[in-house]
A and B are shown apart, each in its own frame.
Chain A
Amino acid sequence: MSDDNLDFSASLTLGDFVTDIDCAISLQGCTGLFGASGAGKSTLIRLIAGFLQPSRGRISYRGAVWYDRVAGVFTPAYKRGVGVVFQDARLFPHLTVEKNLLYADRRSDCSRYGFDEIADAFDLSSLFARLPSSLSGGERQRVALARTLLTRPDLLLLDEPLSALDAKRKAAILPYLDDLPKRFGAPVIYVSHNVDEIVRLASRTIILKHGRIEAEGATADVLNAHGDDAQGVIVTGVIAGHDDHYSLTRIDVGAGALALPINKNKTVGETVNLRIDARSVVLARSPLDGLSIRNHLPATIRAIATNDERASFVDVLLDAQGIALRAQVTREAADVLGLAPGGNVYALVKSASFDF
């Protein structure tokens, strides 16, 4: 059991929006904070960071009390040791990249890792002399992330750090986020309304809805139980090996192995979450040869879900030896193939459909 416990019990009313959250979370690795916009994610982050003061309750982290209404305790943000990366980077516009980084470095009183180590890890030395106004959005977020890490935070809050970036820039930054807790020794709370980011980065997830916690637990469990049907299914697997010849990573998901584009950031034996979109699962009545889709999982049909008798598509809910999968097929195909609960099929999963 780690001692990175966040005990949070506080409420705050801003206008007609009430945030009322009680939780005791052991923050290990990366915890996702997921919810639609307006669910209270940012308010919760601002309460943890110390930018907002709640109107009741108590907040403590690693045993240090940050807020206690009854005892009259409020630790200001600059004394909490919480690093925050904002959606809009918030670099200091009058300082160069290097001076932005040094600003944080000089005010940090510990040296878990050095300045150069961070600058190298985020490939920043070529940007040192630049002013923030001359950086691209992706570069700005990289600098912001490095700057926050240089405070050597005890807790790292990432508040939608990628949401202002386009898909290409996002993909370029994601690898830097993969191993943050392990590499830099601080638990991470990662805020996002994007399922793929949560699935990729967070081992545990908290879902917020209307200013309250709706669910909390392992990412796959929480998202499968409370997520949107459109997100497909989150499957947890273990990295079985990397195939350099074909540039594939094989992942054991229990029911079989899936081959995905290679990602060497993941070590063999590591647990990963995969999102399988219902539209990228194809069903066959019998095992098929001569097909370019190589990921075949035998499965039993649990149910056929449809919103509307006359809909073009139906969702077939599958049980692939303990793994719940979801496949979207046309209603016609379901009838022609005679798909019905209890029937056995083969689920074919396109490699390209994974986000990790």
Chain B
Amino acid sequence: MSLPDISAFWLTLRLAMVVTVILLFIATPLAYALAVMRSRVKPAIEAVVALPLVLPPTVLGFYLLLVFNPSAPLGGFWVSMTGDTLAFSFAGLVVASVLYSLPFAVQPLQAAFEAVSGELTEAAASLRAAPLDAFLTIVAPLSLRGFLTAAVLSFAHTLGEFGVVLMVGGNIPGETRVVSIAIYEHVETLQYAQAHGLSALLLIFSFVVLIFVYLFNRRAPLHVGR
């Protein structure tokens, strides 16, 4: 495998890991808020979160390009803070991927929280546990599978991302040239051997990750602790 292809592979892994970590931090409070919310705005928030599931990646990428533009507020703020543009940069790729994979993190977490909270959080409150205390000691430990599912789906979804990356990231080696883009490029230039190499690598890697997840899911009892 050529050096640029190996670099593309590592870049993809780095992107997926960074995005997964950020997503867990963002999606956890968001999913918990949705799980306990009874407000009338809840369906609207849920719809916004689910939008990336139905929108073509090009639409999301197009709007992100507009927002990333240095003359737009966010793009301008980023340039003034870092001296670099969000568009066609690794940071921009991270922002785009976080938005694009948001439903894959929020939905499993929300389902897990909804299954646990309510009766048990009331019990915790009656035992003098404040809401954050109850979340950390009761809801989160009992939602371990939800966290695992959310992390794996976010990671896998970011690995396989193509359209949004193409729109906002382009094809800059070491910066935005992820595996899917590299494969696309190889195929376009009829370098089938390299395309084979990268594709097989991604296939095997994804399979191994999923095997581990399902093994863990089987071994880990529904309720950990003890």
A joins B in a complex: yes
**A residues engaging B (CB < 8 A)?**
49-51, 76-79, 81-84, 86, 88, 90-96, 99, 103-104, 107-108, 131, 133, 147-148, 151
Known A-B contacts: A79-B128, A86-B119, A131-B226. Give 9 more (CB < 8 A): A51-B125, A78-B127, A78-B128, A83-B127, A91-B123, A92-B124, A93-B223, A95-B225, A103-B129
Look across to chain A and name the residue whose beta carbon is closest to the beta carbon of B226: A96
Compute how far the CA of A81 lies from the CA of B127 in the bound complex, rounded to whole angstroms.
8
Interface presence of B189 (CB below 8 A):
no
Question: Which residues of B are found within 8 Å of A86, using beta-carbon distances?
Answer: 119, 122-123
Compute how far the CA of A90 lies from the CA of B121 in the bound complex, rounded to whole angstroms.
9
**Given A92-B120, A96-B226, do A107 and B127 touch, yes or no (CB 8 Å)?**
yes
Contact of A148 among B127, B133, B225 (CB under 8 A): B127
Contact A107 B125 (CB under 8 A): no
Contact of B127 among A96, A103, A133 (CB under 8 A): A103
**Given A77-B126, A78-B128, do A93 and B142 touch, yes or no (CB 8 Å)?**
yes
Question: Which residues of B are found within 8 Å of A88, using beta-carbon distances?
Answer: 119
- Interface size for B (C-beta < 8 A) is 22
CB distance from B160 to the nearest CB of A (A): 34
Compute how far the CA of A76 lies from the CA of B131 in the bound complex, rounded to whole angstroms.
10
- Count A/B pairs, Cβ under 8 Å: 73
Interface presence of B174 (CB below 8 A):
no
13 contacts between A and B (CB under 8 A): A49-B126, A76-B125, A78-B124, A78-B126, A78-B127, A84-B126, A88-B119, A94-B141, A95-B225, A99-B225, A103-B127, A131-B226, A148-B126
CB distance from A297 to the nearest CB of B (A): 45
> What secondary structure prevails in chain B residues at the interface with A?
helix
Question: Which residues of A are found within 8 Å of B201, using beta-carbon distances?
Answer: none
Question: Which residues of B are found within 8 Å of A90, using beta-carbon distances?
Answer: 119-120, 122-123
Question: Which residues of A are found within 8 Å of B122, using beta-carbon distances?
Answer: 49, 51, 77, 84, 86, 90
Contact A104 B125 (CB under 8 A): no
Question: Which residues of B are found within 8 Å of A81, using beta-carbon distances?
Answer: 128
Which of A49, A78, A88, A148 has the most C-beta atoms of chain B within 10 angstroms of its own C-beta? A78
Contact B224 A94 (CB under 8 A): yes
**Given A94-B142, A96-B226, do A78 and B123 touch, yes or no (CB 8 Å)?**
no
Compute how far the CA of A93 lies from the CA of B137 in the bound complex, rounded to whole angstroms.
12
Compute how far the CA of A118 lies from the CA of B123 in the bound complex, rounded to whole angstroms.
19
B147-176 contacts to A (CB < 8 Å): none
Interface presence of B138 (CB below 8 A):
yes
Compute how far the CA of A76 lies from the CA of B138 in the bound complex, rounded to whole angstroms.
18
Contact B126 A83 (CB under 8 A): yes
Compute how far the CA of A114 lies from the CA of B122 in the bound complex, rounded to whole angstroms.
24
Question: Which residues of A are found within 8 Å of B134, using beta-carbon distances?
Answer: 78
Compute how far the CA of A95 lies from the CA of B131 in the bound complex, rounded to whole angstroms.
18
Look across to chain B and name the residue whose beta carbon is closest to the beta carbon of A88: B119
Question: Which residues of A are found within 8 Å of B53, using beta-carbon distances?
Answer: none
Question: Which residues of B are found within 8 Å of A79, using beta-carbon distances?
Answer: 128
Look across to chain B and name the residue whose beta carbon is closest to the beta carbon of A51: B122
Question: Which residues of B are found within 8 Å of A108, using beta-carbon distances?
Answer: 128
Contact B129 A107 (CB under 8 A): yes
0/1 string, B82-126, CB within 8 A of A gives 1:
000000000000000000000000000000000000011011111
Question: Which residues of A are found within 8 Å of B225, using beta-carbon distances?
Answer: 94-96, 99
CB distance from B222 to the nearest CB of A (A): 8
Compute how far the CA of A345 lies from the CA of B52 in the bound complex, rounded to whole angstroms.
85
Interface presence of B48 (CB below 8 A):
no
CB distance from A32 to the nearest CB of B (A): 20
Compute how far the CA of A203 lies from the CA of B226 in the bound complex, rounded to whole angstroms.
41
0/1 string, B130-147, CB within 8 A of A gives 1:
110110011001100000
CB distance from A154 to the nearest CB of B (A): 11
Which of A92, A96, A133, A148 has the most C-beta atoms of chain B within 10 angstroms of its own C-beta? A92
Which of A82, A90, A99, A147 has the most C-beta atoms of chain B within 10 angstroms of its own C-beta? A90
Contact B128 A107 (CB under 8 A): yes
